[in-house]
Chain A
Amino acid sequence: MEKTAFTATFTGMMSAFLIWAVHFAAVYGINGLICARAWDGVELYGHPVAVVLILGATAVALLLAAGVLAAALWGAAPGRRTSEDPRRFIRLFTGLAAAGSLVAILWNGLPALQVPACG
């Protein structure tokens, strides 16, 4: 592996975790705002606005994390493999992080189907 841009590589490795973090902040922020402004009675497409927005954000986050997983699984095959080539590790790390984040995003989004937004 020749000289690699650190920022791009490291951000790529962390991308799935970052997607989880942005999703988490988004759903918490959406719900907090809806409750603070007493918008929990508002409906969107016939469903409570909180449910629609949170499930929408969850779907987007899941798609993005799945994209990272796919890129890690089927990304460009490493070329020259030497003992000093960390590409296998980078792809494994990215893939595992994406798989874990997929579960965490789903786990965080599902309560919107069961729990009332503002009580």
Chain B
Amino acid sequence: MTPPLDDAALPSRLPRPKEELEALKRAWKPTSGLGLLKEVNNNIIGVMYIGTALLFFVISGTLALVMRTQLAVPENDVLGHSLYNQFFTVHGTGMMFLFAVPIVEAIGVFLLPSMLAARDLPFPRLSAFAFWAYLFGGLAFFCSLIFEVAPDGGWFMYPPLTSMKFSPGINADFWLLGIGFIEISAIAGAIEIIVGILRTRPPGMTLDKIPVYCWSMLVMAGMIVFAFPAVIIATALLEIERAFDWPFFIAERGGDPLLWQHLFWFFGHPEVYIIFLPAAGLVSMMVPALAQRPLVGHDWVVVALVGTGFFSFGLWVHHMFATGIPPLSLSFFSAASMAVSVPAGIQVFAWIATLGKGRLQWTVATWFLLGFLFIFVAGGLTGVMVAVIPFDWQAHDSYFVVAHLHYVLIGGMVFPVFAGLYHWWPTMKGTMLSERLGRWAFWMMFIGFNVAFFPMHVSGLMGMPRRVYTYPGDLGWNVLNMVSTVGAFVMAFGVLLVLIDMARDAFGRGRPAPENPWKAGTLEWIPNDDYATRSIPHVRSLYPLWDNPNLSREVQEGAHYLPGAPTRRRETIVTSPIEARPQYLMPMPGPHWSHFLAGLFTAAHFICLAVQLYWVSLVPGVLAIASVFWWVWGLDKGADHPPQDVGGGWRVPVYLQGSENHSWWGTAVLLLVDGTAFACLCFTYVFLWTVSPDVWPTGTDALPGLGWLFGEAALWIVAAGAMLLASRAVAHNRSWTMRGALLVGLLLMLAAAAAEPYNHIGSGLVASESAYGAIVYMLASWQVFHVVILVLMTGFTLARSFAGRLHARRRVTFDNVMLVWLYTCGQGVVSLLLVHLFPRLAV
């Protein structure tokens, strides 16, 4: 007989009242049927998200198989030149943007709450919106292939090949608008993940007790915040160049195609680590569970993760070694490329040491992990080779690079993800995938992968270039290509076995899993339900289930925090970011149609733009905005319940204003994204001046007078002051003062935003004439875009005020708008200083 728990030291007294669990179940009851479209629960969204990413993986992989069939023999004609270009572009884009990043975010959406014992991530509707936007956008992107209008410029879409002159159709627009839009979804996921990890940890999970996977996701999400804006700006600039002939990349008018490469690879190289680090985090969680001992050098691994994230931003030019950049500049990037291998090496040694010290369980996940170690280390070694500039000059744009990148990406990410699928499958619905099928799948994938990609190192060194759709038969590449093709099909068969295994489980043939089948030590192995764990445990170590064998039972009996649903709705505890002390009880939004409609209409808007139905695109655009307003109108409920007892003597409020509110954090992270995008525009300005000073004004005659600078700056500053005045008015419940200050501030901002393009037009500056004109108007347009957003946000704020939903004790919406407002004013002043003073001061 199991001895009774000693509840004297536990946060909640046992036994719990019976109706408490029923209330919890009722609050978290999932919707069914069509209602699934309304669902926001991470357990459901996470599974759909992972499934969609796998679907896109299969589609992208199928394209690769067709390409390998084309290359199996010389002078083959399965695919023509044009279609082959579309295939490799969609394959690369699909794998990088529609599989790799989304699946790591999807796994995060599914796993993070259970690893943190949170009831859900803090913005469940944002996760659901990100998923639907991704699904609709991704499907539309692949459909472009059916109509032969898919992009064909490679996954990196270098201009001038993708400029209007050389790509006059809508193929490139599908990439630029489609991928730009899907990145918005990735950023939404990143915001969710950052705030989730920092603010919804269980009590006691201080910084030093955060699981390594959560650290890796935190680093990944942080990298998305600082990397993705670069490619969003790049795609915006190229699309604007194509649509309006503003010459950002056209050398004849002062633009530079290298600008694209800088912006793209500032995103593109960190992207590799955005993909790899979460996979490394999964490995760092699986290895201890499979070896039954704590991860060796846990703290070092955490620092290595963060260090890799930082150093990876110093590598972007290592994709540009052959572009004629000065040798000393190349050396900086070569040095950084080698430096980044050190933290990666620390992780590899930590895994090997842990595996070596433990008693290894030989599961399917173990095999995939060993396969990962072999392939990833091999890919890392060729990575060091291509980091050496003279070698890179030889191997550049050859199949050697194709081999290297597939070793790194498939080894570093696909194998750990498949290991993770087998390892964490039991947490989904309590069943296990087949160990026998899994092992077959592993060996097919491992052997197939090496047979497919190892010969590419050789064919590359023998001179076979990338992206060729065929080759003559007398160059000595025939056997190598045939072997690669056979290997690719063997690997694909391995993937098919995994899919069959998952389908078997879906049709009820999966083996029931015992509780915690691998005897792991972390929180996601506590049995859970739609509401996550019955109660939120107090954490005292990195492996709480190993340190307290009773913990799972304590949690399931409701002996820890928040054992019920005290306000009768979905909610979780928000804790402080360092000490993880309970701060308030966060009400969570439930099922709703708004996020689904917002995702659908946003996708429709971008698709209309891609196919050049500009006026039609306004309809879904307006509907998307309306859906978002519908979505957020019901949030920010104020303190509609008294403070609640969540256990352990903690009585916390159900609403907290100011910088401790989770949505304030979400807005702050969003502004980091925004600030990075603006920094990329400033970089564009300075870069174009560096390469084309001849199109910049040499005297003050061509510039608007300094009076414009001071006048517009004053407008922005007074507008910021008006917002601060409105804030004081809210604090004292002076509604009409607040409304008046907001309206006056908004008018001032509108005037400032309109004055900037107006005075440049007055000076005779034409955007399409030179890169200088293009970037000046781009900076002005960026500011106008922000003011348009603020018009909508201010209108929403005023509507809430008139509806009685905004006052001194219920001002979270106002505070978030204030953050965006003040940021926009600051950005406006910086933009003015750059545009008006730089040409006067530059040599």
In angstroms, how far is the closest chain B Cβ from the Cβ of A77? 17
In angstroms, how far is the closest chain A Cβ from the Cβ of B389? 10
Q: Does the CB pair B328–A118 fall under 8 Å?
A: yes
In the bound complex, what is the Cα–Cα distance between A104 and B343 (angstroms)? 11
A59 on the B face (CB < 8 A): no
User: In the complex where A107-B338, A118-B326, A118-B327 touch, is A90 in contact with B207 (Cβ < 8 A)?
Assistant: yes
In angstroms, how far is the closest chain A Cβ from the Cβ of B203? 9
A36 on the B face (CB < 8 A): yes
Encoded as 1 (CB less than 8 Å from any A CB) or 0, chain B from 398 to 442 comes to 000000000000000000000000000000000000000000000
B313 on the A face (CB < 8 A): yes
Max chain B C-beta neighbours (<10 A), residue from A10, A50, A108, A116: A108
Main secondary structure of the interface of A (DSSP, over half): helix
B576 on the A face (CB < 8 A): yes
In angstroms, how far is the closest chain B Cβ from the Cβ of A81? 12
Q: Does the CB pair B303–A97 fall under 8 Å?
A: yes
B580 / chain A contacts, CB cutoff of 8 Å:
84
Q: Does the CB pair B579–A1 fall under 8 Å?
A: yes
In angstroms, how far is the closest chain A Cβ from the Cβ of B242? 27
Q: Does the CB pair A17–B329 fall under 8 Å?
A: no
In the bound complex, what is the Cα–Cα distance between A92 and B204 (angstroms)? 19
In angstroms, how far is the closest chain A Cβ from the Cβ of B155? 25
In the bound complex, what is the Cα–Cα distance between A53 and B273 (angstroms)? 31
Contact of A115 among B307, B313, B328, B336 (CB under 8 A): B328
Q: Does the CB pair B307–A33 fall under 8 Å?
A: no
In angstroms, how far is the closest chain B Cβ from the Cβ of A11? 12
User: In the complex where A6-B577, A83-B540 touch, is A100 in contact with B691 (Cβ < 8 A)?
Assistant: no
B475 on the A face (CB < 8 A): no
Q: Does the CB pair B207–A119 fall under 8 Å?
A: no
Q: B199's closest neighbor in chain A, by CB? A: A6
Q: A114's closest neighbor in chain B, by CB? A: B331
Q: Does the CB pair B576–A100 fall under 8 Å?
A: no
B833 on the A face (CB < 8 A): no
Encoded as 1 (CB less than 8 Å from any A CB) or 0, chain B from 257 to 270 comes to 00000000000000
User: In the complex where A84-B206, A88-B208, A100-B307 touch, is A3 in contact with B576 (Cβ < 8 A)?
Assistant: yes
B311 / chain A contacts, CB cutoff of 8 Å:
20, 104
B841 on the A face (CB < 8 A): no
B468 on the A face (CB < 8 A): no
Contact of B306 among A17, A37, A83, A86 (CB under 8 A): A17
Q: A93's closest neighbor in chain B, by CB? A: B303
Q: Does the CB pair B306–A97 fall under 8 Å?
A: yes
Q: Does the CB pair A28–B332 fall under 8 Å?
A: yes
Contact of A85 among B198, B206, B329, B332 (CB under 8 A): B206
Tally chain A residues at the interface, Cβ within 8 Å. Answer: 47
B299 on the A face (CB < 8 A): yes
Q: Does the CB pair A112–B328 fall under 8 Å?
A: yes
Encoded as 1 (CB less than 8 Å from any A CB) or 0, chain B from 182 to 220 comes to 000000000000000010000010111100000000000
In angstroms, how far is the closest chain B Cβ from the Cβ of A32? 6
In the bound complex, what is the Cα–Cα distance between A79 and B490 (angstroms)? 60
A35 / chain B contacts, CB cutoff of 8 Å:
326, 329
Contact of A37 among B314, B328, B343, B843 (CB under 8 A): B843
B578 / chain A contacts, CB cutoff of 8 Å:
1, 4, 6, 9, 86
Q: Which of B553-595 contact A (CB under 8 A)?
A: 576-581
Q: Does the CB pair A50–B328 fall under 8 Å?
A: yes
User: In the complex where A86-B578, A100-B342 touch, is A14 in contact with B328 (Cβ < 8 A)?
Assistant: no
Main secondary structure of the interface of B (DSSP, over half): helix
In angstroms, how far is the closest chain B Cβ from the Cβ of A40? 8
In the bound complex, what is the Cα–Cα distance between A101 and B304 (angstroms)? 11
User: In the complex where A37-B843, A86-B206, A115-B331 touch, is A96 in contact with B303 (Cβ < 8 A)?
Assistant: yes
B332 / chain A contacts, CB cutoff of 8 Å:
24, 27-28, 31, 108, 111
Contact of B207 among A86, A101, A116 (CB under 8 A): A86
In the bound complex, what is the Cα–Cα distance between A28 and B206 (angstroms)? 38
Q: Which of B303-357 contact A (CB under 8 A)?
A: 303, 306-307, 310-311, 313-314, 326-329, 331-332, 334-336, 338-339, 342-343
User: In the complex where A20-B310, A89-B207 touch, is A108 in contact with B299 (Cβ < 8 A)?
Assistant: no
Contact of A21 among B310, B335, B843 (CB under 8 A): B310
User: In the complex where A4-B579, A96-B300 touch, is A117 in contact with B208 (Cβ < 8 A)?
Assistant: no
Q: Does the CB pair A115–B327 fall under 8 Å?
A: yes
Q: Does the CB pair B327–A116 fall under 8 Å?
A: yes
A108 / chain B contacts, CB cutoff of 8 Å:
314, 332, 335-336, 339
A28 / chain B contacts, CB cutoff of 8 Å:
329, 332
Contact of B328 among A31, A89, A93 (CB under 8 A): A31
A44 on the B face (CB < 8 A): no
Q: Which of A10-32 contact B (CB under 8 A)?
A: 10, 14, 17, 20-21, 24, 27-28, 31-32
In the bound complex, what is the Cα–Cα distance between A39 and B328 (angstroms)? 14
Contact of B299 among A14, A27, A89, A100 (CB under 8 A): A89
User: In the complex where A3-B579, A97-B307 touch, is A86 in contact with B299 (Cβ < 8 A)?
Assistant: no
Q: Does the CB pair B331–A103 fall under 8 Å?
A: no
In the bound complex, what is the Cα–Cα distance between A32 and B325 (angstroms)? 9
B690 on the A face (CB < 8 A): yes
User: In the complex where A14-B306, A37-B843, A118-B327 touch, is A84 in contact with B299 (Cβ < 8 A)?
Assistant: no
Contact of A32 among B198, B327, B690 (CB under 8 A): B690
In the bound complex, what is the Cα–Cα distance between A84 and B204 (angstroms)? 6
Q: Which of B83-97 contact A (CB under 8 A)?
A: none
In angstroms, how far is the closest chain B Cβ from the Cβ of A12? 11
In the bound complex, what is the Cα–Cα distance between A90 and B208 (angstroms)? 8
A110 on the B face (CB < 8 A): yes
Q: Does the CB pair A110–B335 fall under 8 Å?
A: yes
B310 / chain A contacts, CB cutoff of 8 Å:
14, 17, 20-21
B326 / chain A contacts, CB cutoff of 8 Å:
31-32, 35, 117-119
A111 / chain B contacts, CB cutoff of 8 Å:
328, 331-332, 334-335
Q: Does the CB pair A32–B299 fall under 8 Å?
A: no
In the bound complex, what is the Cα–Cα distance between A24 and B579 (angstroms)? 33
Q: Which of B33-50 contact A (CB under 8 A)?
A: none
User: In the complex where A6-B577, A86-B208, A118-B326 touch, is A33 in contact with B690 (Cβ < 8 A)?
Assistant: yes
In the bound complex, what is the Cα–Cα distance between A103 and B421 (angstroms)? 38
Contact of B690 among A3, A36, A83, A96 (CB under 8 A): A36
A17 / chain B contacts, CB cutoff of 8 Å:
306-307, 310
Max chain A C-beta neighbours (<10 A), residue from B332, B343, B576, B843: B332
In the bound complex, what is the Cα–Cα distance between A93 and B339 (angstroms)? 18
B53 / chain A contacts, CB cutoff of 8 Å:
none
B338 / chain A contacts, CB cutoff of 8 Å:
107
In angstroms, how far is the closest chain A Cβ from the Cβ of B305? 11
Q: Does the CB pair B335–A107 fall under 8 Å?
A: yes
In angstroms, how far is the closest chain A Cβ from the Cβ of B273? 14
In angstroms, how far is the closest chain A Cβ from the Cβ of B839? 16
Q: Which of A70-86 contact B (CB under 8 A)?
A: 83-86
Q: A112's closest neighbor in chain B, by CB? A: B328
Show 25 residue pairs from A and B whose CB-CB distance is below 8 angstroms, ordered by the A residue: A1-B578, A6-B198, A6-B577, A6-B578, A17-B306, A17-B310, A20-B311, A21-B310, A24-B314, A24-B332, A24-B336, A32-B329, A54-B328, A83-B540, A86-B209, A88-B208, A93-B306, A96-B299, A104-B336, A104-B339, A107-B336, A108-B332, A111-B334, A111-B335, A118-B328
